[in-house]
Structure 1
Amino acid sequence: MHVRFLGKDPDSAEGDSPTLYATDRTDRKTYIAQGWHVTDPQVLAEIGPIAEGEGIIEIPEDVLKFYQRNQEEDR
């Protein structure tokens, strides 16, 4: 699997950049998001159990615009 950079949070400092990537999987369309690990106990309690091998990250709303832009380019 390979990834294609879509964009990063323009307000983040260098090296601290929530980022969105598209994959080239052929069995389904997927994305990889780089963000901040969610460690807030209240948030984790509200979300509930997380399957082994999965994680929860937080990304700024501005990063999601790269998803929308990618969807428009694919049309």
Structure 2
Amino acid sequence: MRVQFLGKDPESQVDNSPTLYATDRDDRVTYIAQGWKVTDPEALAAIGPVPDHETLIEIPEDVLKFYARRYALEEGLS
């Protein structure tokens, strides 16, 4: 699977950057998000059990704008 860099948090520090990538999967549209591992006990309790093969990450809203931009370009909305 190949990935395409979409963008990173403009307020992040070097080597500590929430980032969003698009994949080239044939079977469905997916994205890979690099972010902060969720460790807050209150958040984890509210979310509930997470399967061992999954994890929870937190990314800034600004990073999601890269998805919106890509979607708008693909749909001819911009």
Same fold (TM over 0.5): yes
| Deviation for aligned residue 1:73 | 1.6
Percent identity (aligned): 65
Distance in 2 of aligned mates of 1:68 and 1:2: 20
The alignment's C-alpha RMSD in Å is 0.5
1:34 matched to which residue of 2?
A: 34
Distance in 2 of aligned mates of 1:3 and 1:73: 18
1:62 matched to which residue of 2?
A: 62
| Deviation for aligned residue 1:72 | 1.1
- What CA deviation, in whole Å up to 9, does each residue of 1:43-65 have, x standing for no partner? 10000010121000000000000
Note the 1:12-27 alignment, pairs <5 A. 12-27=12-27
Please state whether the residue corresponding to 2:7 is helix, strand or coil. Answer: strand
Q: Following superposition, which runs of at least 4 residues in structure 1 exceed 6 angstroms of deviation?
A: none
Task: Tell me the matched-pair count.
Answer: 75
Distance in 2 of aligned mates of 1:37 and 1:50: 13
Please state whether the residue corresponding to 1:50 is helix, strand or coil. Answer: coil
TM-score (norm 2): 0.94
